[in-house]
Structure formats: structure tokens, C-alpha cells
Amino acid sequence: SAVISQKPSRDICQRGTSLTIQCQVDSQVTMMFWYRQQPGQSLTLIATANQGSEATYESGFVIDKFPISRPNLTFSTLTVSNMSPEDSSIYLCSVGGQSYQETQYFGPGTRLLVL
């Protein structure tokens, strides 16, 4: 299994500002994923970030709003840009191997409140 840490663990931000969330993994992984969990809801995939290639965004999510960096095999960042109260959510980093039989592991999440 992978140990994943995220920074910050929580933040309160003003609308119109941006926040960058960091994800650090204790081992090299090919596939990293960013999810959003809105209050009381399930997890929705924002994008898949593989090292050495552009992130692949899911329907309803765009790079201008959620730019992602993946500079190496152990680190990624997600930026939530021009925030509005609707962006208040938990943002989770996740890693998984390139086999559907392998488990995806999740970081502790970043709890974001936008005022």
C-alpha cells in the first residue's frame, strides 16, 4: 500500500482566490487521481494525472479551473482557481497501479471552505 499525505489539511478561503493542494506519496507511482467529495456526497473524479503527460479531465472539469502539475512520480498539485462557495468540498488525492486488480489508495483529503 502507499502512504499519501496532503497539504493543507483544511483551509478557509475567500471567493475569487486560488488554492494549491499538494499531494506527496511515499513511493513512485505512475497513476495519480484527484477527486472531489462535496458535502454528504460520493467521490467524483476530477482528473487523472500521469507523470510526463498532460492531465486528463473528466466531463465537467476544465484545466483553467483545476490546473494540475505532476513533476515527478511521487508528487502532484491541484489548484482550485477563482474559487466560489460551490467549490467548498473535500479534495482527495489518490494513487493506483496500472492494473484494474490493484487497489486505489487515498490521501486524508483537504477540506476547503470558500466564503
Partner 1 sequence: GNSVTQMEGPVTLSEEAFLTINCTYTATGYPSLFWYVQYPGEGLQLLLKATKADDKGSNKGFEATYRKETTSFHLEKGSVQVSDSAVYFCALRDGTGGFKTIFGAGTRLFVKA
Given the rule CB under 8 A, which residues bind partner 1?
1, 31, 33, 41-43, 45, 48, 56, 92, 94, 96, 98-109
CA distance 100 to 80: 29
Q: Helix %, strand %, coil % for the chain, to 5? A: 5, 50, 45
Give 43 or 73: the residue with its C-beta nearer to partner 1. Answer: 43
Give 49 or 114: the residue with its C-beta nearer to partner 1. Answer: 49
The CA-atom distances, in angstroms, between 69 and each of 1, 17, 24, 38 are 23, 19, 12, 22
Give 16 or 108: the residue with its C-beta nearer to partner 1. Answer: 108
CA distance 45 to 91: 10
Give 14 or 53: the residue with its C-beta nearer to partner 1. Answer: 53
Least distance in Å: CB of 95 to partner 1? Answer: 11
Least distance in Å: CB of 16 to partner 1? Answer: 28
> Which residue has cell 493542494?
21
Least distance in Å: CB of 45 to partner 1? Answer: 5
